[in-house]
């Protein structure tokens, strides 16, 4: 372990998938890990301290912050708490859209608002945000999920420019399909009589299959470990050559042609 930010890290969404793999990987490297999620027994296991935190609740984040601060605080934040609600762009109920933003976007803002003053007081730190390839390449029936990740993209770019003067670095990690609990936890938000039902269910079945045949969460965790060692991390790291190519093609192909390919994949 050789991090310019010290060896104390908070990981949100650490009860499953990428967050859990990251908690185990950082602990193995000798970091003191605060592994936060809603579903956990608060306990200590080796270098890992499991702590309850619901990122949608200001009180819950503050309670966790108080416990962590009392034990010496952290200088690295890794945001993995997230969920997906699939549905049509037109008729996904607003409640479902807001709920998704509450976890994926406002959850990150809330945790940062509460922890960043401490990072500033320490003279710096690192904020790693789990975005997604879906935050660069929107897919059908994932518009609102993608919107949460696009929102994170602009937020992190601005945060870097603003908080850099306090020694705070930030980066986005963009995994593609990864085999985690995300697929089973995904909700569908299709109102009664939605004309999109059959097409949406078909597209989501394809996406679920791709996720479950996807990469390992450990591969994403290893990238987080590498980023934690960089004094000047890049704005974003896309996980996997195939997804880097997809993003490159999106940039150079005519938009209409790229859209046709994606549409065809999920028809
Ligand atoms: N899997 C993929 O293919 C993929 C691809 C690209 C990006 N991502 C992103 O990677 C991140 C991690 O997802 P994953 O794939 O590892 O899924 P996962 O296995 O379902 O893990 C999601 C984690 O988020 C936590 N969580 C959910 N709601 C929360 C809340 N309100 N407060 C605190 N924690 C909450 C869950 O724990 P509790 O339920 O215990 O709270 C769980 O630990 C997400 O941001 C996701 O968007 C995933």
Q: Where are the domains of the chain?
A: 8-265
Residues 124 and 229 sit within 8 Å (Cβ to Cβ): no
Closest CA to 138 of 263, 3, 1: 263
Q: Whose CA is nearest to atom 29 of ligand 1?
A: 81
Q: What is the pLDDT of residue 111?
A: 98
The pLDDT tens digits along the chain (267 residues) read: 789 999 999 999 999 999 999 999 999 999 999 999 998 999 999 999 999 999 999 999 999 999 999 999 999 999 999 999 999 999 999 999 999 999 999 999 999 999 999 999 999 999 999 999 999 999 999 999 999 999 999 999 999 999 999 999 999 999 999 999 999 999 999 999 999 999 999 999 999 999 999 999 999 999 999 999 999 999 999 999 999 999 999 999 999 999 999 999 998
CATH of domain 8-265: 3.40.50.720
pTM of the model as a whole: 0.98
Which atom of ligand 1 is closest in space to residue 179's alpha carbon?
A: 1
Q: What is the pLDDT of residue 267?
A: 87
Q: What is the pLDDT of residue 203?
A: 96
Q: Active-site residues: which are they?
A: 15, 131, 145, 149
Q: What is the pLDDT of residue 248?
A: 95
**Residue 37's beta-bridge partner residues?**
52
**Which residues have CB under 6 Å of ligand 1?**
12-19, 37-39, 53-56, 80-83, 103, 130, 132, 175, 177-178, 180-182, 185, 211, 214, 217
CA of residue 80 relative to chain centroid, distance: 4
- The 8 Å CB, 24+ separation contacts for 192-199 are 194/88, 194/91, 196/87, 196/88, 196/90, 196/91, 196/141, 199/140, 199/141, 199/267
Question: How far is the centre of ligand 1, averaged over its atoms, from the C-alpha of 109 (Å)?
Answer: 16
Q: What is the pLDDT of residue 61?
A: 98
Residue whose CB lies within 8 A of the most ligand 1 atoms, among 59, 77, 82, for a mutation test:
82
Q: What is the pLDDT of residue 186?
A: 98
C-alpha span between 56 and 25 (Å, rounded): 26
């Amino acid at each position: 372990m050789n991090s310019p930010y010290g060896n104390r890290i908070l990981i949100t969404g650490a009860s499953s998938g990428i967050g859990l793999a990251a908690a185990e990987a950082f602990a193995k490297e000798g970091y003191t890990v605060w592994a936060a999620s809603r579903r956990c027994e608060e306990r200590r296991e080796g270098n890992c301290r499991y702590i309850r935190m619901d990122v949608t609740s200001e009180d819950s984040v503050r309670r966790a912050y108080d416990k962590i601060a009392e034990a010496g605080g952290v200088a690295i934040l890794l945001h993995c708490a997230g969920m997906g609600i699939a549905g049509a762009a037109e008729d996904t109920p607003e409640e479902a859209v807001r709920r998704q933003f509450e976890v994926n976007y406002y959850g990150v803002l809330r945790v940062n608002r509460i922890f960043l003053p401490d990072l500033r007081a320490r003279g710096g730190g690192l904020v790693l945000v789990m975005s997604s390839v879906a935050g660069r390449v929107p897919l059908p029936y994932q518009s609102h999920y993608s919107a949460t990740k696009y929102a994170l993209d602009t937020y992190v770019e601005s945060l870097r420019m603003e908080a850099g003067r306090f020694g705070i670095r930030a980066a986005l990690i963009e995994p593609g399909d990864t085999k985690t609990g995300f697929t089973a936890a995904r909700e569908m938000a299709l109102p009664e009589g939605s004309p999109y039902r059959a097409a949406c269910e078909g597209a989501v079945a394809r996406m679920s299959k791709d996720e479950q045949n996807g990469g390992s969460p450990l591969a994403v965790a290893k990238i987080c470990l590498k980023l934690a060692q960089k004094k000047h991390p890049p704005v974003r790291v896309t996980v996997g050559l195939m997804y880097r190519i997809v993003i490159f093609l999106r940039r150079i192909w005519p938009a209409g042609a790229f859209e046709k390919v994606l549409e065809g994949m999920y028809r």
